[in-house]
C-alpha cells in the first residue's frame, strides 16, 4: 500500500467517524428532548389533576356552605364529605370520597344504600383524608405521584351556628 | 480522489458545527421549559398556601398573622402576612405574600389580599 492510498483510506475513515459522531449527537439530543417532554407532560398532568381536585373540593364546600349542611363521615373505609340539601321538602345528600384511585361522588336521597364503588368518577386521586374541627374542614389530598396537599376551609356558616348554641 | 475526500470531510465538519449550534439552542430551550414548568407548579402550590393562610386569618380574625416556612418538593416556601389598613373599624385587611426558594434563589411567587369582619369584643 503506497502513502497516497493510505492517506485516502484514513480520510475516508475520518469522514465516516465524523458522520458517526454526528448521528450519535442527533440521537442524544432527540432522546434528551423526548425524555424532557415526557417528564414535563407528566408533571403538568399531575399538577392539573391536583389543582382540579382541590378546586372541585373547595367549590363543592363553598356552594353548600349553609348551617349544618356540611359534615365529615366514614363511607366504607374512606373518609367522606357529606353535603346535605333540601329539594322540594325532601333531604338529599352528596358524598364526596376517594375510592380505588379516584375521587368519586354520589348524590341520592338514600346514600347509605350504595357502596363506595358505585360513585361517579371525578378525577384520579390516591387518597383523601378529611377532618372537621371548630367549623373548619381539613383535607389532605394525595395525588397519584404521592404528593400531599393540605387544604383548610373555614365554614362561613359555622361561626353563626356555633354562637347560637 | 484526494480532493473529493477532503471535500466530504469539510462538509461533515460544517454539518457538525451547524448541528452543535442547533443543539445548543435546543438544550437551552429544554432547560427553560423545565424551569417554567417548575415555577408554574410552585405558583399553584403558593396559591394553596396563601388560600390556607387566608382561611386561618379569617378564622382567627387576623390573630394568626405569623410568618412561616415550609418545604414542598424542591421548593422552600415562605409565607408572610402584612397587615394593612382597611379604613374601617369593622373590616380587617392583610396581604399575604408567598416567596419561593429554589436552588438558593428566592423570588416572590404570589400576593393575595384578604379581608375579614372584625369581631366586636364589647358586644
How distant is the Cα of A46 from the closest Cα of chain B, in angstroms?
10
Sign for the CA dihedral angle at B116, B119, A63, A47 comes to: positive
Question: Average pLDDT, stretch B26-42?
Answer: 90
Q: With bands split at pLDDT 50, 70 and 90, how would you rate the model's confidence at B120?
A: low
Which stretches in chain A have pLDDT values below 70? 1, 158-165
Give the per-residue pLDDT at B113.
92
A12 touches chain B (CB under 8 A): yes
First to last CA, chain A: 107
Find the CB nearest B58 among A18, A44, A154: A154
Q: B110-121 burial, b for 16+ CB within 10 Å, e for fewer?
A: bebebbbeeeee
Answer whether 0.80 is exceeded by the pTM.
no
Q: With bands split at pLDDT 50, 70 and 90, how would you rate the model's confidence at B122?
A: low
- Residues of chain B positioned with their CB less than 8 A from the CB of A43: 37, 41
Question: Average pLDDT, stretch B20-46?
Answer: 90
Give the per-residue pLDDT at B1.
57
Give the per-residue pLDDT at B12.
81
Whole-angstrom distance, CA of residue A21 vs CA of residue B7: 18
Hey, is A143 helix, strand or coil? coil
The grid coordinates listed for A41 are 407532560
Give the per-residue pLDDT at A1.
63
Question: Average pLDDT, stretch B14-41?
Answer: 89
Question: Average pLDDT, stretch B44-53?
Answer: 91
Give the per-residue pLDDT at A128.
93
Query: pLDDT tens across B80-107, in order?
Result: 999 888 888 888 899 999 999 988 889 9
**Among chain A residues, CA nearest to B35:** A40
Hey, is A139 helix, strand or coil? strand
Inter-CA distances, A30 with A23, A127, B23, B26, B115, Å? 11, 37, 9, 10, 51
Give the per-residue pLDDT at A160.
46
Q: With bands split at pLDDT 50, 70 and 90, how would you rate the model's confidence at B121?
A: low
CB atoms within 10 A of CB B81: 20
Q: Do A36 and B56 touch (CB under 8 A)?
A: no
Whole-angstrom distance, CA of residue A66 vs CA of residue B81: 29
In degrees, rounded to 5, the angle at the alpha carbon of residue B21 between the alpha carbons of residues B20 and B26 is 95
B119 secondary structure, DSSP code: P
Give the per-residue pLDDT at B98.
95
Give the per-residue pLDDT at B100.
94
Q: Do A15 and B12 touch (CB under 8 A)?
A: yes
Give the per-residue pLDDT at A162.
46
B118 secondary structure, DSSP code: P
Q: Do B2 and A26 touch (CB under 8 A)?
A: no
Give the per-residue pLDDT at A22.
85
Amino acid at each position: 500500500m503506497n502513502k497516497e492510498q493510505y492517506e485516502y483510506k484514513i480520510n475516508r475513515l475520518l469522514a465516516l467517524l465524523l458522520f458517526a459522531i454526528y448521528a450519535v449527537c442527533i440521537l442524544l439530543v432527540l432522546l434528551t428532548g423526548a425524555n424532557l417532554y415526557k417528564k414535563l407532560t407528566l408533571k403538568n398532568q399531575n399538577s392539573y389533576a391536583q389543582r382540579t381536585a382541590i378546586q372541585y373540593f373547595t367549590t363543592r364546600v363553598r356552594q353548600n356552605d349553609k348551617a349544618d349542611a356540611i359534615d365529615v363521615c366514614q363511607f366504607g373505609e374512606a373518609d367522606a364529605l357529606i353535603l346535605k340539601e333540601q329539594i322540594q321538602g325532601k333531604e338529599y345528600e352528596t358524598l364526596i370520597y376517594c375510592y380505588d384511585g379516584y375521587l368519586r361522588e354520589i348524590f341520592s336521597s338514600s346514600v347509605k344504600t350504595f357502596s363506595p364503588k358505585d360513585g361517579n368518577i371525578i378525577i384520579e386521586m390516591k387518597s383523601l383524608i378529611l377532618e372537621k374541627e371548630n367549623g373548619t374542614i381539613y383535607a389532605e389530598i394525595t395525588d397519584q405521584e404521592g404528593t400531599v396537599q393540605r387544604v383548610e376551609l373555614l365554614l362561613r356558616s359555622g361561626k353563626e351556628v356555633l354562637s347560637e348554641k | 480522489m484526494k480532493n473529493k475526500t477532503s471535500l466530504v470531510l469539510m462538509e461533515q465538519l460544517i454539518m457538525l458545527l451547524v448541528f452543535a449550534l442547533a443543539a445548543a439552542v435546543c438544550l437551552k430551550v429544554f432547560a427553560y421549559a423545565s424551569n417554567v414548568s417548575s415555577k408554574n407548579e410552585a405558583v399553584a402550590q403558593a396559591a394553596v398556601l396563601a388560600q390556607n393562610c387566608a382561611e386561618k386569618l379569617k378564622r382567627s380574625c387576623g390573630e394568626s398573622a405569623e410568618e412561616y416556612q415550609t418545604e414542598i418538593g424542591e421548593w422552600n416556601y415562605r409565607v408572610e402576612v402584612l397587615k394593612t389598613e382597611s379604613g374601617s373599624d369593622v373590616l380587617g385587611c392583610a396581604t399575604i405574600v408567598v416567596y419561593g426558594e429554589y436552588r438558593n434563589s428566592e423570588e416572590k411567587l404570589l400576593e393575595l389580599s384578604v379581608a375579614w369582619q372584625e369581631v366586636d369584643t364589647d358586644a
